[in-house]
Amino acid sequence: MKILDVGSGLGQFTLMMARSAGEGSVVVGIERDRRQLGEARKLLASHRGGGATVDFREGDATNLDLRKGEWGSFDLAHSRFLLEHLPEPAAAVAGMAKALRPGGRLFLSDDDHGVFRLTPEPAGFRDLWGAYMRSYEAAGNDPRIGRRLGDMLRDAGFRSIRIGGMFFGGHADEPHFRMIADNLTGILEGAGETMTSSGAIGREAYARSMAALRSWKQDPSAAQWYMVCWAEGILPVPPG
């Protein structure tokens, strides 16, 4: 197989696909962030098994710079948690479509932040999460893009489209819950300056909401309900 992973990040999932593809396969990861690209290349240096050739490259998801002969040659293109960060996500989907051979498959996975729920809901969390989504919109991005993935594939010419979701959450009794709760807290801490400086939420309201969120993690009945959206489609084979 030939696989194209756009927005390959730290490279873990790219290497998982390489192992699954097996001997003789070619996997190309495209990443814009040089720090993440460097970490992916370090991971590749210690990668063992699978027999696939893996190539991590610096590049722009909305303006792919593939090599001569690579356009129209990939069996599978993939992106994960990429489109929500792009003001022009359709350009990335169009580029991946151009990279695929006729009959090739595109798999997209992304967030719909509008379906995120915590229970019991911490004080101020609804306003805090709303401010987080508005920080996406202020940058020209769509925090609800997960629900649009199927339509984006159809608009790009794909057919045999399927959609679904992967649950991402947990209850306080589950061993992985603390990791999930810490991940949520870390995301909102990282976005805090953007949210407050833009006026999406006041600094005092932000501080109070974050304190309530940290306390929520200790609640024995705490639970996070969330779904990561996915869609896949097939590029039609021209008649004849």
Instruction: Give residue 109's pLDDT.
Output: 98
The Cα–Cα gap between 198 and 9 comes to: 27
**What tokens were used for 113?**
């932040």
Instruction: Give residue 9's pLDDT.
Output: 96
Instruction: Give residue 67's pLDDT.
Output: 93
The Cα–Cα gap between 125 and 143 comes to: 17
- The most distant pair of C-alpha atoms in the chain lies apart, rounded to whole Å, by 65
Q: Across the chain, what does the average pLDDT equal?
A: 95
pTM reported for the whole predicted model: 0.92
- pLDDT of 174-183, one tens digit each? 999 999 999 9
Instruction: Give residue 214's pLDDT.
Output: 97
**What tokens were used for 109?**
């996975």
Confidence of residue 49 (pLDDT cuts 50, 70, 90): low
The continuous run of DSSP H or E covering 18 comes out as helix 12-21
Give, to the nearest 10 degrees, the angle between helix 203-216 and helix 177-190: 170
Confidence of residue 104 (pLDDT cuts 50, 70, 90): very high
Residue count (the chain): 240
Q: What residue segments make up the domains of the chain, in order of their start?
A: 60-234
The continuous run of DSSP H or E covering 177 comes out as helix 177-190
Alpha carbon distances (Å) from 22 to 10, 16, 17, 44, 49:
20, 10, 9, 15, 8
Query: Is residue 148 pLDDT above 80, yes or no?
Result: yes
- The mean pLDDT of 206-217, rounded to a whole number, is 97
Confirm if 60 and 34 have CB atoms less than 8 A apart: no
- Residue range 60-234, CATH number: 3.40.50.150
Instruction: Give residue 184's pLDDT.
Output: 96
Q: How would you classify residue 221: left for phi > 0, otherwise alpha for psi between -120 and 50, otherwise beta?
A: alpha
Q: What is the DSSP letter of 85?
A: G
Instruction: Give residue 51's pLDDT.
Output: 85
- The mean pLDDT of 210-229, rounded to a whole number, is 97
